[in-house]
């Protein structure tokens, strides 16, 4: 049985979820909505966001606030923050999930434009989210932020190129921000989901059988715990594959 949005574990909380049109972001956005959150679902594909909204409404929750924008259009992030400030006056949860794999291969063979695209999507866009949404998270009685990382962000692996570099930068950026927030009500953490049945995983490992991997939905409870008002973890990285 689905939880009641009115009495769910996220009832009344305002949550931004990026990369919400598919994979882990979609699963998290759906779960948060079913648990009563006002979900701001961010992704590039309007049609996929509308499908998610239809599904959430059919389950008796929602509606979602849909933001069909490319986060690498950085001014759109500022515009979203302004809209959230006007409508809610705060933000309770940020889930930074959107990411770009780029091309795997030798470091010296990566096209410069692809390297820049990956860094913009995985690092700079998340910095712009922090920059724009930090003030709103501080307005929450229990602001929470969760960013999605990867094992290659802290364990060097040949041929993972720009993606690995970007996740290493993301991890340091989030931890620096967390260190700045110790005297606030905001808690910030990282999640490494590990092997998961997503399109990005399929692109990285085309020979792998998807049915052997955990589903995005299987990680939902971990994100729900880190987004909850009573979560006291801060500046930590949680490995869901462990």
Q: What integer pLDDT is reported at residue 79 of this predicted model?
A: 98
The span from the CA of 14 to the CA of 225, in Å, is 15
Token pair listed for 189: 């953490």
Average pLDDT of the chain?
A: 93
- 27-37 pLDDT, tens digit each: 999 999 999 99
Residue 1, pLDDT > 50, answer no
The span from the CA of 67 to the CA of 64, in Å, is 9
Q: Per this entry, what is the length of the chain? A: 242
pLDDT band at 4 (very low <50, low <70, confident <90, very high): low
Range among 5-19, 166-180, 200-214 with highest mean pLDDT value:
166-180
- 77-98 pLDDT, tens digit each: 999 999 999 999 999 999 999 9
Say which residue the tokens 């500022």 belong to.
78
**Domain segments of the chain: what residues?**
14-239
Strands (E), the chain: 14-18, 38-43, 65-68, 93-96, 144-148, 187-192, 237-239
For the question of whether the overall pTM of this predicted structure is more than 0.95, the answer is no
Say which residue the tokens 């729900």 belong to.
224
Task: Please give the positions annotated as active site.
Answer: 163
- 104-128 pLDDT, tens digit each: 999 999 999 999 999 999 999 999 9
Query: Is the Cβ–Cβ distance between 192 and 241 less than 8 Å?
Result: yes
pLDDT band at 212 (very low <50, low <70, confident <90, very high): confident
Nearest Cα neighbor of 66 from 78, 52, 55 is 52
Choosing among 3.30.43.10, 3.40.50.2300, 3.20.20.70, 3.40.50.720, the CATH entry for 14-239 is 3.40.50.720
Nearest Cα neighbor of 204 from 146, 118, 125, 127 is 118
- 170-199 pLDDT, tens digit each: 999 999 999 999 999 999 999 999 775 766
Which residues are 146's β-sheet partners? Answer: 95, 189
């Amino acid at each position: 049985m689905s939880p009641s949005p009115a009495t769910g574990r996220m009832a009344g909380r305002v949550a931004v979820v990026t990369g919400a049109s598919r994979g882990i972001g979609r699963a998290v956005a759906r779960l948060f909505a079913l648990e009563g959150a006002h979900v701001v679902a961010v992704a590039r594909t309007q049609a996929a966001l509308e499908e998610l909204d239809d599904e959430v409404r059919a389950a008796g929750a929602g509606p979602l606030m849909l933001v069909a924008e490319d986060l690498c259009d950085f001014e759109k992030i500022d515009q979203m923050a302004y809209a959230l400030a006007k409508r809610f006056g705060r933000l309770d949860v940020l889930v930074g999930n959107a990411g770009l794999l780029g091309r795997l291969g030798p470091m010296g063979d990566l096209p410069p434009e692809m390297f820049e695209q990956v860094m913009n999507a995985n690092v700079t866009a998340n910095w712009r989210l922090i920059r724009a949404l930090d003030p709103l998270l501080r307005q929450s009685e229990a602001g929470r932020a969760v960013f999605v990382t990867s094992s290659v962000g802290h364990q060097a692996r040949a041929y993972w190129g720009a993606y690995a570099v970007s996740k290493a930068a993301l991890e340091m950026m989030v931890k620096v921000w967390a260190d700045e927030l110790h005297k606030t009500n905001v808690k910030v953490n990282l999640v490494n989901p590990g092997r998961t049945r997503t399109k990005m995983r399929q692109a990285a490992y085309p020979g792998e059988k998807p049915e052997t991997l955990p589903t995005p939905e299987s990680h939902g409870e971990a994100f729900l715990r880190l987004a909850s008002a009573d979560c006291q973890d801060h500046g930590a990285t949680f490995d869901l594959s462990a």
